[in-house]
Amino acid sequence: MTKIKNNYFEDLLKINKAILAPMAGVTTLPYRLFMREMGCKIFISEMVSAKGLYYKSKNTFPLMETNELEHKDSVTGIQIFGSEPEIMGEITERYINDTAFDFIDINMGCPMKKIVNNGDGSALLKDLDKANKVVREVKSASSKPVSVKVRLGFNENIIEDIIKAIEDGGADMITVHGRTREQVFTGEVDYDGIKKAKETASVPLIANGDLDNYLKAKEKMDYTGADGVMIGRGANYDPFIFSQFNECISGKKVSEYSLRDKIDAARKHFEIHLKYSKDKKKVIEFRKYLYWYIKGIKNSAKIRNSINNVNEIDQVYEIFNRIDDILEL
Ligand X SMILES: Cc1cc2nc3c(=O)[nH]c(=O)nc-3n(C[C@H](O)[C@H](O)[C@H](O)COP(=O)(O)O)c2cc1C
Is the Cβ–Cβ distance between 21 and 208 less than 8 Å? yes
Site string (122-161) toward ligand X, x via CB under 6 A = ---------------------------x------------
Dist. CA 265–CA 192, nearest whole Å: 35
Q: Which is nearer to ligand X, 39 or 323 (CB)?
A: 39
Segment interacting with ligand X, rule: CB under 6 A, options 54-62, 194-202, 204-212, 263-271: 204-212
Task: Give min distance, CB of 266 to ligand X, in A.
Answer: 18
Task: Give min distance, CB of 327 to ligand X, in A.
Answer: 27
| Pair type for strands 103-108 and 18-20 | unpaired
Q: Reply yes or no on whether 110 is catalytic.
A: yes
Kindly state whether residue 23 participates in binding ligand X, applying the rule CB under 6 A.
yes
Exactly one of 30, 85, 89, 232 binds ligand X (CB under 6 A); which one?
232
* Helix H or strand E encompassing 152: strand 146-153
Q: Which is nearer to ligand X, 27 or 323 (CB)?
A: 27
Binding to ligand X (CB under 6 A): which residues in 206-225? 208-211
Binding to ligand X (CB under 6 A): which residues in 28-87? 46-47, 79
Terminal CA-CA length for the chain: 61
Kindly state whether residue 177 participates in binding ligand X, applying the rule CB under 6 A.
yes
Segment interacting with ligand X, rule: CB under 6 A, options 196-204, 230-238, 271-279, 318-326: 230-238
Q: Is the dihedral of CA 127, 91, 24, 203 positive or negative?
A: positive
Residue 116 DSSP code: H
Dist. CA 308–CA 284, nearest whole Å: 9
Dist. CA 166–CA 323, nearest whole Å: 48
Among the listed residues 64, 58, 61, the one whose alpha carbon sits nearest the alpha carbon of residue 32: 64
Where do contacts with ligand X occur on this chain (CB under 6 A)? 21-26, 46-47, 79, 107, 109-110, 149, 177, 208-211, 231-234
Q: Catalytic site residues?
A: 110
